[in-house]
Amino acid sequence: MSFVTAAPGIADGRTAGRPRGNYTEERHMTTLAYTRSGAGAPLVLLHGIGSSRHAWDPVIPALAAHFDVLAIDLPGFGDSGLLPPGAGSGPAALAAAVAGLLGEFGVTAPHVAGNSLGGWVALELAGIRPVASLTLLSPAGLWRGKVPLYNRVSLRATRWLSQHAAGPLSRLVSYRLGRALVLGQTHGRPFRLSPGYARAAIAAMGTSPGFDATMKASATGYRSGPPIGAPVTVAFGSRDHLLLRQSRHLGQLPPGTRFAALPHCGHVPMADDPAAVAALIAASSARARPAERQTAR
């Protein structure tokens, strides 16, 4: 079932003719759920494994002042359904589903920002359709061979706890120290997080029906495909305790990729420093060639 929430008197903007003023639209498609807000060049936001589009909520207000922001729940995560049997569940399959949604909107060359698994999906997306720019925040998949054991154990443990101890964890994050204990591996400034944000993160991790299949399908890292002509910016948080050095082999990234740091930020930096993340995405999008910026509009 589909539903839309929008400001009173403002029509929804599914395709052409959408209003130019600021507005917020939320919709659940057959397979993908998304939130759309703001106006300007299109910007697609992709979340990490076991997360949802709401991980981007801290930065969306700043981004919506300059972009038509489309935050998407990847298939099998958040409010999005699983892909049909046989469609696959790895990053390439998730990217194809995102490409299909963009095609429905008539979005031809958006700016794309992805965190963790979303960064990997963004790279796959850029391999099958035009994009104006890529901003990759702690992107997954940059390991040699199979995913490092530390990553697998960490994610599996977090998943298990979120499934089987969701109640105690949700009570624990009512306290600042509890938020540091529960989210300290993925967030650089857990004391700053609200209890509501922490509970939403626990719920998303514990209830994602696509988690196991996507983990299995992502065992082998990203391998570059067709050339990516759009500018690429990669940033890791200085307090990213999930993707360690063995997960940051950058040789598969396109030539000319720029690298940036996010001080005091963790693996999921959007809530640690929303202003810095928004500024990084804006700077990355500004690197798009004039023709790409025009097409993105």
User: Does residue 204 come out as left (phi exceeding 0), alpha (psi in the -120 to 50 range) or beta?
Assistant: alpha
Q: Say which range, 200-204, 240-244, 249-253, has the weakest mean pLDDT.
A: 249-253
pLDDT at 297 over 70: no
At a CB cut-off of 8 Å and minimum separation 6, what does 239 contact? 188, 189, 264, 265, 266, 272
At a CB cut-off of 8 Å and minimum separation 6, what does 51 contact? 77, 78, 115, 116, 201, 204, 205, 208, 268
At a CB cut-off of 8 Å and minimum separation 6, what does 7 contact? 23, 24
Higher pLDDT, 25 or 273: 273
Where are the domains positioned within the chain?
24-296
Q: Give the model's pLDDT for residue 145.
A: 87
Q: Mean of the pLDDT values across residues 159-181?
A: 97
Provide, rounded to the nearest whole percent, the portion of the chain with pLDDT above 90: 79
Q: For residues 47 and 136, what is the distance between their CA atoms, to the nearest angstrom?
A: 11
Q: For residues 102 and 15, what is the distance between their CA atoms, to the nearest angstrom?
A: 10
Closest residue by Cα to residue 243 from 256, 262, 257: 262
E strands along 106-154, which residues? Answer: 111-115, 133-137
- pLDDT, tens digit, 9 for 90 and up, residues 63-118: 999 999 999 999 999 999 999 999 999 999 999 999 999 999 999 999 999 999 99
Q: For residues 160 and 241, what is the distance between their CA atoms, to the nearest angstrom?
A: 19
The whole model's pTM is what?
0.89
Q: Give the model's pLDDT for residue 141.
A: 94
- Name the CATH code of domain 24-296 (choices 3.30.420.40, 3.40.640.10, 1.10.3210.10, 3.40.50.1820): 3.40.50.1820
Helices and strands (H and E) in the chain: how many: 10, 8
Q: Give the model's pLDDT for residue 252.
A: 86
Mean pLDDT of the chain: 88
Q: Give the model's pLDDT for residue 3.
A: 26
Q: Distance of alpha carbon 95 from its chain centroid, rounded?
A: 12
191 DSSP assignment: G
Tokens matching residue 50: 């076991």
Q: Say which range, 11-20, 49-58, 66-75, 239-248, has the weakest mean pLDDT.
A: 11-20
Q: For residues 46 and 281, what is the distance between their CA atoms, to the nearest angstrom?
A: 13
Tell me the one-letter amino acid at 200: A
Coil, helix or strand at residue 56? helix
Q: Give the model's pLDDT for residue 160.
A: 98
Q: Which residue has the tokens 């390991």?
A: 143
pLDDT at 292 over 80: no
- pLDDT, tens digit, 9 for 90 and up, residues 29-44: 447 999 999 999 999 9
